[in-house]
Structure 1
Amino acid sequence: MAADRTVDALTTTLRSLESVLLSGPSLEDFLLTLAGSAARLVEPSASSGITTYYDGNPRTLVTSDRRAAQVDELQYETGLGPCLHCLATGEIVDVPDLSTDPRWGDYGKRAVEMGVQCSLSVPLMVDGHTVAALNIYGYDQPRSIGPEQQQRALVLADQATSAIGFAVRFVKQTEMAEQLEQAMAARSVIDQAIGVLMGQQRCDANTAFELLRTHSQNNNQKLRDVAAGIITRITGHPPTAPAQFETGNPRDSLSRRSTPPE
């Protein structure tokens, strides 16, 4: 019976992902739904995010919450970590217990200090190329992302890449890049608003993110619109525009940075 409920729940998730993409909203909305669904694969809920290349560097495209962005940013800072390795190599990276995993140098110790117990990174591939990495970070206990959760994540990623591939076939490459750029611009605006709120409210990043999300939900506004309004109102200037999206994949240079030393 438990297995049946798991299958039913996963089927519902996949159908909701398809409906989000095919009903006409932006790729950004679809990826946000994907990140939220991946986070809920683990009980209690984990954090999830999607990493891609932007402006020649790995960047977080969307996240289920602020914690995932912070773990991603730690990897970008150190130049090492499971999501970078997945993005560079196209390999699935399973980290059952981060506290005992010797890979990726200083990243492991610092991530454990942030509360990460385990993680799973799954490549999202289109036409044989890794376009992004779906990352799930577990905080409850080591090995909370077990075989069942891993299998569900793989099915979810497969469904997602099929849907993204469908979008690529029917959307011009320039339009695809524009939508990815819009998603990254939204991420940049949200991060700027978090910084403003942290200074104004004297709070940490997680609290600032929750303030943004609560206001967004209560006022039925998109998170990026709320963030842009806060920045403009407090600073007197609109948000700073990020650099343009870069479709190239600097796989070789990233592979050298993301592969743990011998």
Structure 2
Amino acid sequence: MSGDEQVPFADALRSVQSLLLSGPDLEDLLAKVADVAAKIVEPPASCGITTRYDGEPVTLVASDPRAALIDERQYSLREGPCLDALDSGAAVEVPDQERDRRWSRYGVAAQELGVKASLALPLVVDGSTIGVLNLYGYDRPDTFSEADRERAVAYADQAARTLALAARSVRQSQLGAELEQALASRSVIDQALGVLMGQQRCDARTAFELLRRHSQNNNRKLRDVAADLVAKLTGQPAVDSRAFESGLERRPGSGDAGA
């Protein structure tokens, strides 16, 4: 029996690790993590993944609408196993929701939503709790066996590291894209300043003030105003001058060596 139990768990871990290789966005990654988590226990549960955003708990993704609803009920009541796990960084189990007395208002709401047992597992990275993986069972009290708990804890640990890696990758990608955009914008603005300085016979500070004033008066981005100005006064669209340095642009008439 133990061999049968380990096969789906091993598959689950492999599926989480392979998610990054398939290149989904972070939301898709989280949705797949929640879906796999719901299926590593027997009978299958439902799963919600909670984190904090602007200081408030939010459900990033859920394997089904009921899991999201149970999560949200805890947020609105400001009590429940999910929030305790998020605050403490420790796992919180509810073997029998009907008999549990820790959260009076949530306890009533959970029973109304059909929860028989639940397991809230913190997602911890470098000692910090980045979220909680919530499992809700609806079939019977004591839904989660010892083997279920062991698999769920190990899966949560793997999921936390995978999600942290994915989030870091997304942040780096966004930062890189933002940096590239900023550098390209700077190049176009510098070209516009040069054109203005020649046209108005003014210094760089005055040219920038002229450009900025036009941007504000027309409620347009400075880069767009600069690009339009360069195109209008030179008859050619503004380009990112870094392309010349990297050799991506050919000088007119350069051609091939044998031409």
Q: What TM-score do the two structures reach when normalised by structure 1?
A: 0.63
Higher relative contact order (CA 8 A, sep 6+): 1
Q: Is the 8 A contact 1:90 1:130 kept in 2?
A: yes
Deviation at 1:165, TM superposition (A): 3.3
Quick check: which has more Rg, 1 or 2?
2
1:1-262 mapped onto 2 (5 Å cutoff):
2-168=1-167, 170-172=169-171, 175=174
Report if aligned partners of 2:26, 2:167 keep a CA contact under 8 Å in 1.
Answer: no
Structure 1 gap ranges (5+): 177-262
Q: What secondary structure does 1:48 align onto?
A: strand
CA shift digits 1:87-111 (9 cap, x unpaired): 1111100110011111012111221
Residues 80 and 167 of structure 1, relative CA distance in 2, 3 Å threshold: same
Retained in 2: the 8 A contact 1:127–1:165? Answer: no
Q: CA deviation at 1:171?
A: 4.7
Counterpart CA distance in 2 for 1:165 and 1:73 is 23
Displacement of 1:170: 4.4
Q: Which runs of 5+ in 2 are unaligned?
A: 176-259
Output one character per residue of 1:34-79: Cα deviation in whole Å (capped at 9) or x when no partner: 1111111233321101001123310111000000011011101110
- One-letter identity of the residue aligned with 1:127: D
Across the two proteins, how many residue pairs are aligned to each other? 175
Q: 1:88 to 1:173 in 2, by over 3 A?
A: farther
- Aligned-pair distance for 1:160? 0.9
Tell me by how many angstroms 1:7 deviates.
1.0
Alignment TM-score, normalising by the size of structure 2: 0.64
Distance between the aligned counterparts of 1:18 and 1:28, measured in 2? 16
- Secondary structure in structure 1 of the residue aligned to 2:134: strand
Instruction: Write the distance in 1 (CA, Å) between the matches of 2:45 and 2:165.
Output: 28
Identity of aligned residues (%): 49
3-state SS of 1:99 partner: coil
Letter in 2 for 1:104: W
